[in-house]
A and B are shown apart, each in its own frame.
Chain A
Amino acid sequence: MSHNVPAELRYSKSDEWVRVEGDELVIGITDFAQDQLGDIVYLELPKVGQVIAPGEPFGVIESVKASSDLYAPVGGEVVAVNGDLDASQEAINTAPYGAGWLIRVRPSGDEEEGIMDAAGYAAFCEDRAH
């Protein structure tokens, strides 16, 4: 099964995506990740003002079957959290790059090693599918 990997985003090995929006970065989980997890039913995200560090867990995402840590692909201060997800976590499954975004950060400039572009991440997913 092939997954949606938008060309304009960058990706972590732990299946988070990063999108540049002005001076800020938006972070979410990829289509591959949501498909692996299945129906998301529970989410723990940081609070606004919290500082996240690249490669460190910043939250937890859970489906009926599995629990998974969310790892920060970049460092920075959380400036917004997607509050709509409290009522509708399914957006993470249905629109992982859109309404299912998780947090918005003001970047510190640090990022996790091994951040990939879309082509690199698509190949990374393909490798794991077999």
Chain B
Amino acid sequence: MLKRTPLFEKHVAAGARMVEFGGWEMPVQYSGIIDEHNAVRQSVGLFDISHMGRLMVRGPQAEEFLQHVVTCDVSAIPLGQSNYGLLCRPDGGIVDDIFIYHLPDEFLVVINASNREKDWQWLHDHTEGFDVEIVSRSDRWAMLAVQGPGAEALLIQAEESGAGSLHDLPFHGVALSSIFGYTALVARTGYTGEDGFELFFDAVHAEEIWDKLVGLGAKPCGLGARDSLRFEPCLALYGHEINDDINPYEARLGWVVKLDKGDFVGREALVAIKAAGPSRRLTGFEMVGKGVARGDYPVHTLDGEPIGVVTTGMPAPSIGRPLGIAYVPTSLSAEGSEFDILIREKPVRARAIKMPFYKPRYKK
């Protein structure tokens, strides 16, 4: 049976269309993907992302342990800050992309819904020699994203004190707050290319907090808009742009890999991959011919030779035309390179363009 978040009943009652996603029964849309997408770009949207995994990593060697399993420099994340990181296999393939929040005496690690069991196992497989404990908060805590240019003003209203301390929360900052009187961790993070926040709090308050945020004007959004919003700024989605067989350099995530921070799982392979240069690269493209590229569509050279695959493609709502992201040989990844996308077995011309398609508007 599919898993459900604490807000499942809320989504159904609100008339959301529910779909399966990574083993979860989640809302794909409420009012419509474009309407929800535009709400986040222009005002503020609300997402139930409780399906994501939340792990607390604690103990005297929590930092050393994380430093050993992730590619970013965990020692460089100050208390009250967070950062994006990757778990890599010894061969450099990406186990998952994660977010690490540095809390007092512990780290909160947010992992992808579809990788909850895999990551749990992976992390525990690497704890030997470290005085560390990993505790799941995935079921006990709910997680909401409040995203858009209006998110800060809305959440300041929701803050118990009304003092507006969230105004001073920096990009990627995380702090303990009181939202409608309930203790919550509030982080200035998200997955939409807009300013916004992610909230973590006791799941028993999920429905009440959801309703009150909607009452303040946050528009409920589903996974459809979440996908189109992350696609435009070219934020990777596990299972599409990245997976166990894709390394960070071909995924253009080399900036997340700190080779000089000391040894970590995958480092040796990643040094070699970086030195050799990746043979394929994630490449953004626009359609020259008429058509919409979608995930898994094959990419061919103009001579019909299969060379790659589309990872995500759709008509980009904020750009106003069909765009896509694909793996193609490095020689064809430069801006202006042309290749064909096989749309229903028919080659349709596409041209490599600069990524991201949408410049993120984070408050920094």
Contacts and interface: CB of A to CB of B under 8 A. Distances in A.
Interface of A: 1, 38-39, 41-42, 44, 60, 62-65, 67, 69
6 contacts: A1-B15, A39-B34, A64-B314, A65-B29, A65-B227, A65-B314
Given A64-B228, A65-B224, A38 B315 contact: no
Interface string B289-313: 0111010000000000000000000
| Shortest Cβ-Cβ A-B pairs, 10 listed | A41-B315, A39-B34, A64-B33, A62-B292, A65-B224, A39-B32, A64-B314, A42-B292, A64-B228, A42-B315
B33 A39 contact: yes
Nearest to B290: A44
Nearest to B315: A41
Contacts of B190: none
Interface residues of B, number: 20
Contacts, number: 39
Interface of B: 15, 28-29, 32-35, 37, 224, 227-228, 290-292, 294, 314-315, 317, 322, 344
B322 A64 contact: no
A62 B34 CA distance: 13
B28 A41 contact: no
Interface centre among B15, B314, B344 (most CB of A within 10 A): B314
A69 B344 contact: yes
A42 B15 CA distance: 25
Given A64-B224, A69-B344, A38 B33 contact: yes
B32 A38 contact: yes
A63 B292 CA distance: 10
Nearest to B313: A67
Contacts of B314: 64-65
